[in-house]
Amino acid sequence: METQNYRIIKINREAASEEEDKIIVEYPLTLFINGVEFITLLCTPRSLKELVVGFLYSEGIISSKDDLEDIRINEASGRADVYTGNKDLYYYQGDRLNAKRTVTTACGRQKSIIYNVVDLLGTESDKIHSCVDYTADEILDLANRFNKKSELFITTGGVHSCALCDKKDFIIFEEDIGRHNALDKILGGALLRDIRLEDKMIITSGRISSEMIIKVVKSKIPVLVSRSAPTNVAVDMARKYNLRLMGFARGNRMNVYSGAPEQSLKPPVTQDGG
């Protein structure tokens, strides 16, 4: 399954309604090379054999189909086993791979985040308990201003932007070629300036996958708003940790995936206590 159905709340300036929405699945595929665990790819569960072969080729672990002895993919367990003819090749690559790593425009630091996920799950203390509430109008007002604010995006089209806000205005605004970098610049700036985060909101231009949720929950920020889409894992984690998660905040509309604003436009779902 590449998508999953969720009940979400669609809000515009006039009304709010609960609707069924299809959300993209974030699927972890753990790759074992010659029996040795190598990497976990978070991907869309389609063409997994092609993904594994293409990844091995891009990584320089194989240079042709002939380097492959066997590929077995167990979609149910999320495990891919690859056997290469040249065992040394892998170990040689393994050494190279472990010698240095580079994080580029979006992430790469997930080798640690996978641990953070494990750490986070089931840790009650990580649940967000915030008394602050943002109304739908406050969120939409800030999101609209946010979407017009990125000069680097306007001039180059090549960056993501991220902002830390209170109920009325922007406190920090950052832009970066990587959506993770932009968020880290916000968190670093808040840390350096001793800004209290428990009552703030993050707005990002980027898509929301699990590692974005982890950063925000870890920082105890109660509201996360994106111009783009979340993954199913992001929605599940947001609901589990009481993070208010909104997506597709554009113009005068947004989707609420977790924690509808109490002071919102009196959506039917809150009226009938749903």
**Choice from 7, 22, 72, 266 touching a second copy (CB under 8 A):** 22
Complex with a second copy: residue 178 or 261, whichever CB lies closer: 178
Written as six digits, the tokens of 171 are 């406190």
Written as six digits, the tokens of 39 are 């990497």
The answer to whether 126 contacts a second copy (rule: CB under 8 A) is no
Unique residue bearing structure tokens 């436009």: 265
Stretch near a second copy under the rule CB under 8 A, chosen from 20-28, 80-88, 124-132, 262-270: 20-28
Q: How far is the CB of 270 from a second copy (least distance, A)?
A: 25
The answer to whether 272 contacts a second copy (rule: CB under 8 A) is no
Identify the active-site residue in 43, 107, 131, 165. Answer: 107
Complex with a second copy: residue 122 or 157, whichever CB lies closer: 157
The answer to whether 32 contacts a second copy (rule: CB under 8 A) is no
123/87 Cα distance (integer angstroms): 41
Complex with a second copy: residue 26 or 138, whichever CB lies closer: 26
Complex with a second copy: residue 46 or 87, whichever CB lies closer: 46
**Choice from 207, 217, 220, 260 touching a second copy (CB under 8 A):** 207
Stretch near a second copy under the rule CB under 8 A, chosen from 74-82, 104-112, 127-135, 197-205: 104-112
Written as six digits, the tokens of 156 are 């180059």
Complex with a second copy: residue 58 or 271, whichever CB lies closer: 58
24/176 Cα distance (integer angstroms): 25
The answer to whether 236 contacts a second copy (rule: CB under 8 A) is no
The answer to whether 253 contacts a second copy (rule: CB under 8 A) is no
Which of positions 170-199 make contact with a second copy (CB under 8 A)? 174-178, 180-181, 183-189, 191-192, 194
> By the 8 A CB rule, do 107 and 236 touch?
no
Q: Does the annotation mark 165 as catalytic?
A: no
CA-based nearest residue to 84, from 97, 96, 66, 59: 66
In whole angstroms, how large is the CA radius of gyration of the chain? 21
Residue type, 74: N
Question: Distance from CA of residue 27 to its chain's centroid?
Answer: 13
155/143 Cα distance (integer angstroms): 20
Q: How far is the CB of 263 from a second copy (least distance, A)?
A: 27
The answer to whether 223 contacts a second copy (rule: CB under 8 A) is no
Stretch near a second copy under the rule CB under 8 A, chosen from 8-16, 150-158, 197-205, 257-265: 150-158
> By the 8 A CB rule, do 204 and 224 touch?
yes
Unique residue bearing structure tokens 């350096």: 192
Q: How far is the CB of 151 from a second copy (least distance, A)?
A: 10
Q: How far is the CB of 95 from a second copy (least distance, A)?
A: 11
Cβ-proximal residues to 237 (8 Å cutoff; 6+ apart), any chain:
120, 210, 213, 214, 217, 243
SS3 38: strand
The answer to whether 49 contacts a second copy (rule: CB under 8 A) is yes
The answer to whether 97 contacts a second copy (rule: CB under 8 A) is yes
* DSSP letter, residue 211: H
> By the 8 A CB rule, do 267 and 9 touch?
yes
> Among all residues, which ones are annotated catalytic?
107
